[in-house]
């Protein structure tokens, strides 16, 4: 059974996740559209791929540091 504090942390984490998800659902296509207008569609895919790779590596590093690996 969850304690009151655990329930509060869960609801806060869920709310934060949904807020970031909503920002991404709006911001991703908007930013990609702006890049596609400025650079063309092919470079936009390259920029997106590089951004995903960079964020994935950064996330992996931060998780490893947090875990103490």
Q: What is the pLDDT of residue 6?
A: 82
CA–CA distance, 4 with 11 (Å, rounded to integer)? 11
Q: Which domain holds residue 11?
A: 4-67
Residues 20-60: tens digit of each pLDDT: 999 999 999 999 999 999 999 999 999 999 999 999 999 99
Tally of structural domains, the chain: 1
Total-model pTM: 0.65
Check residue 1 and give its pLDDT.
Answer: 65
Indicate whether 5 pLDDT > 70: yes
Residue 68 zone, left/alpha/beta (φ > 0; ψ -120 to 50; rest): left
Beta-carbon contacts of 39 under 8 Å, excluding residues fewer than 6 positions away, are: 47
Q: Is residue 69 predicted with pLDDT exceeding 80?
A: no
């Amino acid at each position: 059974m969850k304690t009151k504090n655990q329930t509060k942390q869960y609801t806060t984490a869920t709310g934060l996740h949904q807020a970031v998800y909503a920002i991404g659902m709006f911001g991703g296509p908007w930013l990609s559209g702006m890049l596609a207008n400025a650079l063309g569609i092919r470079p936009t895919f390259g920029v997106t791929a590089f951004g995903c790779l960079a964020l994935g590596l950064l996330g992996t590093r931060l998780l490893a540091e947090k875990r103490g690996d």
